[in-house]
A and B are shown apart, each in its own frame.
Chain A
Amino acid sequence: MSALSLRGIHKSFGANTILKGVSLEAEPGEFIALVGPSGCGKSTLLRILAGLETADGGEIVAANQDITRLKAAERNIAMVFQSYALYPHLTAAQNIAVPLLMRRLTRAQRLPIIGPLMPGRGKAIAEIKHDVGNMAASLKIEHLLDRKPGQMSGGQRQRVALGRAMVRQPAIFLMDEPLSNLDANLRVHARGEIVDLHRRAGVPTLYVTHDQAEALSMADRVAVMIGGALLQLSPPHVIYDDPQHVEVAKFIGQPRINLLPSQIEAGSTVAIGDVRCALQDRTPSSGTSITLGVRPEFVRIARGGDTGLPARIDRVEFLGSEIIVHSRLDAVGEAMIAKVSPAEGAGLAPGMPIRLHVQGEHILVFGADGARLPVTRLTSSMVRETVHG
């Protein structure tokens, strides 16, 4: 049984289609990062899930209950907003108490003036105070409880927003880029904290971000959304090593994956430099255009010799533990990026002619529609056999 499932969610604003049938299943206690470039529809998906937008099609099932038609207030889903959206006129304690007040007090008990006279209110308020206190203690924000949002730093506001979302122990937890308003140092620190909180609470979490480092480092599984479609939902290392779509490969990885346009050659093989691979599916005819992808760390640089792809260095970036070498292939003029160790990259300078060697087992082949084509690497004896035999 999954904790949450989205089935074929469609959404368009006017003629603009934002979501093209997104389906997703979250296991109990799972942390899923929804990552994609801005405008890919990830925030819209989150808002639909929260009940702030209605989907044009599809259904949402949470804990075996169809919640597609429920209002936001009726869903047991909490959300942390990018701007935190704290109520500026309320103190931190009051902010955290709002979801409890709304749920535990009756409408009559919440009325101004006469509300306090309603029976049972005092007891409920005391319980709420107690719960807010516990929440604050677990987030270590007791000292902030009497402050208003205007008197807090970004990091403090973010904690209060987390507290407000977690205090009512929701069935599902949504976060919309909660770290994007923090400075770089605080962000890395806050990442660890959120993962920690998630582990303790065990509530399935959907975390929207455009920052792939956040997604890869925090999530159990990463969902890559591009152009309103969910292209792949896999654990971080699978997303990186084994992307099923060229867009996923392009989006994930820093520096970006090298992509070279190419064609299927005789015997359903593809070649890059002196490396040749055979397509497992032999139906596409030769001449069909494909894209070859190689991650920068699998490109080796040689300063001479006659094997490998001849190229010329454009730019060298020194990053301390590694060196990023931007070069351009002599033959086709395509840009190639290589990530090498400082020892290997020492002495490289712009304008230098080099030879690039691709590590064959790490070549990714994508078809014209962007889908991944499985390949097997061929040894030189097999090459003769396949191509000429």
Chain B
Amino acid sequence: MAEIAASSRLITHSPSRTTDQGEAATAWLLSMPAIVLIVVFILLPVAAVIVLGFTDFELGYAGFKFVGFDNYAELLTDRTFKRSLWNTAVYTSLVTPVSVFLALGLAIMIEKESIGRSFFRTAYFLPVASLLVAMATVWQYLFHPTIGPINAMLAEIGIQGPNWLGASSTVLYGLSIIGVWQSVGFNLVLFLAGLTSIPRELYAAAEVDGARSGWDRFRLVTWPMLGPTTLFVTTISIINSVKVFETVKTLTEGGPNKASEVLLFSIYQEGFVYLRVGYASAMTVVFLTILVVLMFIQYRIQDRQVHYT
């Protein structure tokens, strides 16, 4: 009896076991392309950068040796690097809030518009789609201290315009304006998508509940309902600001007097101009760490606060 029971259990269970194994194998097989791509194009390069950060490798020299934390020690005393960290932080703290709130305001206005809506959406999205390097020449002209229309307009209202990109006191602001111009369209499209997903009945309920002014309805419905969008837009904006490079490279080369030296530009200088790959890798690790921390913070906030369902 026991034997029969045991064998029957075997019979009933063995097919399911092979199915399980088969399923597991298929699962691995199906996810293999993605795994290979992630390893080859993301994990391996990151690992290589981390390893190189501990070496004195310079492009063109044969061989390298491990130097431990020497590169990181040098970073601590490197005034250019510290300057670029500070400049990146200033640039980010200017561009992110302005581009986020400007985009939110514009999105709310465009949302109300029925006829011109797609026109405005396209118009504001153009800077995102256009090549920043090409548009930089336009900005160079706009910001030109003598022939530039911006200073010409300021002169009209009696303000002596600064030498936007040529003076160390204003160059970061000039770059920030370009940064805002470039990112506002992208943020705006994201906010528009977020706005259209807010149920209309919530606004109706808010009105019936006594939210008289647009501000009341914004506080009661729009702002909280846009929470997930705002968090996403803010994170993307911060990351994009931290990655500022093209405008610096094309317009200022980090100058004048390192006043617009930013993180990515320093890495570029060390790695591709001075060819000190080991040192540039150490900088890159710092850069990656900053990005990872930012993303981690975003996901923590998202999990805790802005999920309503």
Give the B-binding residues of A (Cβ under 8 A). 47, 50-52, 71-74, 77-79, 81-83, 85-90, 98-99, 102-103, 107, 110, 112, 148-150, 164, 168
Whole-angstrom distance between the Cβ of B219 and the nearest chain A Cβ: 7
Whole-angstrom distance between the Cβ of A289 and the nearest chain B Cβ: 45
A308 and B173 CA atoms in complex are apart in Å by 95
In contact, A148 and B208 (Cβ under 8 angstroms): no
A316 and B216 CA atoms in complex are apart in Å by 59
**B308 touches which of A52, A78, A88, A102 (Cβ 8 Å):** A88
- Which residues of the partner chain A approach B204 to less than 8 Å between Cβ atoms? 47, 50, 52, 72, 79, 81, 85
Whole-angstrom distance between the Cβ of A106 and the nearest chain B Cβ: 12
Q: Which residue of B lies closest to A170 (CB)?
A: B208
Q: Mask for B197-228, Cβ within 8 A of A = 1, else 0? A: 00101101111111111001001110011010
Q: Which residue of A lies closest to B213 (CB)?
A: A107
Q: Which residue of A lies closest to B209 (CB)?
A: A99
A112 and B204 CA atoms in complex are apart in Å by 23
Whole-angstrom distance between the Cβ of A70 and the nearest chain B Cβ: 11
Is chain B's binding surface mostly helix, strand, loop or mixed? Answer: helix
A164 and B202 CA atoms in complex are apart in Å by 13
- Which residues of the partner chain A approach B227 to less than 8 Å between Cβ atoms? 89
Q: Which residue of A lies closest to B307 (CB)?
A: A150
Q: Which residue of B lies closest to A174 (CB)?
A: B208
- Which residues of the partner chain A approach B225 to less than 8 Å between Cβ atoms? 88-89
Q: Which residue of A lies closest to B201 (CB)?
A: A85
Report if A102-B216 is in contact (Cβ < 8 Å); known contacts: A52-B204, A81-B205, A85-B205: yes
In contact, B207 and A87 (Cβ under 8 angstroms): no
Report if A150-B220 is in contact (Cβ < 8 Å); known contacts: A78-B208, A81-B204, A85-B201: no
Q: Which residue of A lies closest to B212 (CB)?
A: A73
A77 and B208 CA atoms in complex are apart in Å by 7
A148 and B307 CA atoms in complex are apart in Å by 11
- Which residues of the partner chain A approach B199 to less than 8 Å between Cβ atoms? 83, 85
- B309 proximal to A (CB < 8 A): yes
In contact, B207 and A110 (Cβ under 8 angstroms): no
In contact, A88 and B208 (Cβ under 8 angstroms): no
- Which residues of the partner chain B approach A89 to less than 8 Å between Cβ atoms? 224-225, 227, 308
**A102 touches which of B210, B221, B309 (Cβ 8 Å):** B210
A-B contact pairs, 25 of them (CB 8 A): A50-B208, A51-B207, A51-B208, A52-B204, A52-B207, A71-B207, A71-B212, A72-B204, A72-B208, A73-B207, A73-B210, A73-B211, A77-B208, A78-B208, A81-B201, A83-B201, A85-B202, A86-B205, A87-B220, A88-B225, A89-B227, A90-B224, A98-B210, A99-B210, A102-B211
In contact, B208 and A103 (Cβ under 8 angstroms): no
- Which residues of the partner chain B approach A164 to less than 8 Å between Cβ atoms? 209
Q: Which residue of B lies closest to A112 (CB)?
A: B219
- Which residues of the partner chain A approach B221 to less than 8 Å between Cβ atoms? 87
**A103 touches which of B201, B210, B213, B309 (Cβ 8 Å):** B210
In contact, A74 and B308 (Cβ under 8 angstroms): no
A102 and B216 CA atoms in complex are apart in Å by 8
In contact, A79 and B220 (Cβ under 8 angstroms): no
In contact, A148 and B209 (Cβ under 8 angstroms): no
In contact, B309 and A88 (Cβ under 8 angstroms): yes
